[in-house]
Amino acid sequence: MIGIDTNIFIRYIVRDDDKQASEADKLLKSCSNDCKALINQIVLVEIIWVLKRLYKYPKIDLLKILELLLCNEEIEVLNKEEAKTAMLQFETGNADFSDYYLSEINKSNGVSLTFTFDKKAAKSKNFCLP
């Protein structure tokens, strides 16, 4: 297994630097069931945040990218089930993907309620304003 940083996936998706996009292609195409690419929680959240905030990707495209990352057999996503549940909540909710992912990871670790000052996140059943 190899670890992949956010910027590799961003270059692969956005293709705004030909040289780095080519290197990202080679690296990701070298992954297989025997040598998977690991996406940890921070990288997954950063990918969506960068694409949304910096590149202004619409939610529909972010959902497609999440689905592709979560369904790819050559990619291992930490807390994958929590990410899938968060993706479904993000699809219909108003909060950021990172909020839903955080609450699902917390839930899987025995947390019944996550407190936040984020009013959009607080509308989710897993969050509460203090």
10-residue stretch averages of pLDDT, the chain, 130 residues long: 96 97 96 95 98 98 98 95 97 95 96 94 92
Q: What are phi and psi of 101, to 5 degrees?
A: -65, -45
- Res 110: pLDDT: 96
The residue assigned the tokens 């293709």 is 15
Distance, CA of 100 to CA of 62 (rounded, Å): 14
